[in-house]
């Protein structure tokens, strides 16, 4: 495998985490417009992407493969908890 192929593999590994984190933050800001008015979208998105990426990497390490439904389910739960923490919970500033 060449360097360009390796780069594409790494980008495709991280794309689900990036996509779900950004999309969930945008939808949370849209649905909870008044409640999240004081929280920046960038903060929600960065926290969500970080949580999803950590869970994705943990899923690859634990299961040995990418693309397991259990990993994707754990990513959804991690992003939801992160959005709650940053938007409504103790992490809100």
Q: Which residue has the tokens 């690859």?
A: 60
Which whole number is the average pLDDT over 11-37? 95
Judge whether residue 41 has pLDDT over 90.
yes
Q: At what angle do helices 3-31 and 69-87 cross, to 10 degrees?
A: 50
Identify the band that residue 92 occupies on the pLDDT scale cut at 50, 70 and 90. confident
Judge whether residue 24 has pLDDT over 80.
yes
Residue 33 backbone phi and psi in degrees, to 5: -60, -50
Average pLDDT of the chain? 94
Judge whether residue 67 has pLDDT over 90.
no
């Amino acid at each position: 495998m060449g360097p360009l192929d390796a780069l594409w593999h790494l980008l495709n590994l991280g794309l689900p985490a990036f996509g779900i984190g950004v999309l969930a933050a945008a939808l949370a800001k849209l649905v909870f417009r008044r409640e999240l008015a004081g929280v920046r979208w960038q903060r929600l998105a960065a926290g969500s992407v970080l949580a999803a990426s950590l869970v994705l990497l943990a899923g690859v390490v634990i299961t040995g493969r990418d693309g397991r439904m259990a990993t994707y389910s754990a990513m959804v739960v991690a992003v939801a908890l992160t959005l709650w923490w940053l938007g409504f919970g103790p992490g809100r500033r």
